[in-house]
């Protein structure tokens, strides 16, 4: 819901070149149009400007240069606070709690388990190579050995992802039948 004061503030902001102070405040924070939140900071600056216009003592249109200098400084400070808060939140999300990182040491690798897994991979590959189709072989080889995604496998062989999913389903069915017999 917009009020008449908000409408007047928007009219003043978009009149002449008054909106330039918002761009200048964002530029002062070294945010470029390439920044992922650039438009968000511009919009936040506009909202801050409207709030400042409504809270300003006196008539902002009477001495526009004085108000614009005041608004520029306040918008810059408020956006700087928001940027600092956002960066701090991002850093906390990235780093997490250091005590949990220290406590999450990797378990020692059991050589026998590693050899068993490699033997199983080669057994599966040989099974699909002798009894499966070329697509099933490509799927299993590239997923197990090359660690490629479904999209990468599809691009490599010039087929759609749906085809690669069908290969995966066929491999799973073939291996289920094989292990049910044993």
Which three-class secondary structure string do you get for the chain?
CCCHHHHHHHHHHHCCCCCHHHHHHHHHCCCCCCCCCHHHHHHHHHHHHHHHHHHCCCCCCCCHHHHHHHHHHHHHHHHHHHHHHHHHHHHHHHHCCHHHHHHCCCCCCCHHHHHHHHHHHHHHHHHHHHHCCHHHHHHHHHHHCCCCCHHHHHHHHCCCHHHHHHHHHHHHHHHHHHHHHC
Q: pLDDT digits over 4-23, tens only?
A: 778 888 888 888 888 899 99
* Of 13-17, 96-100, 128-132, 160-164, minimum mean pLDDT range: 96-100
Q: In this predicted structure, what is the pLDDT of residue 104?
A: 54
| pLDDT value of residue 125 | 80
pTM: predicted TM-score of the whole model, two decimal places:
0.50
Give pLDDT tens digits for 70-81: 999 999 999 999
């Amino acid at each position: 819901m917009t009020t008449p004061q908000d409408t007047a503030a928007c009219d003043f902001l978009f009149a002449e070149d008054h909106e330039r102070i918002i761009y200048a405040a964002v530029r002062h924070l070294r945010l470029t149009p390439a920044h992922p939140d650039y438009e968000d900071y511009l919009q936040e600056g506009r909202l801050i400007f409207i709030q400042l216009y409504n809270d300003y003592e006196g008539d902002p249109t009477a001495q526009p240069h004085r108000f614009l200098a005041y608004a520029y400084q306040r918008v810059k400070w408020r956006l700087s606070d928001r940027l600092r808060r956002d960066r701090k939140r991002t850093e906390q999300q990235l780093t997490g709690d250091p005590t949990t990182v220290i406590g999450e040491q990797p378990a020692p690798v059991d050589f026998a388990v590693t050899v068993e897994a490699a033997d199983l991979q080669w057994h599966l590959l040989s099974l699909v190579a002798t009894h499966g189709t070329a697509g099933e072989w490509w799927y299993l080889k590239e997923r197990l050995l090359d660690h490629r995604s479904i999209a990468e496998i599809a691009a490599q062989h010039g087929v759609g992802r749906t085809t690669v999913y069908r290969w995966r389903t066929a491999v799973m069915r073939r291996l289920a039948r094989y292990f049910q017999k044993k």
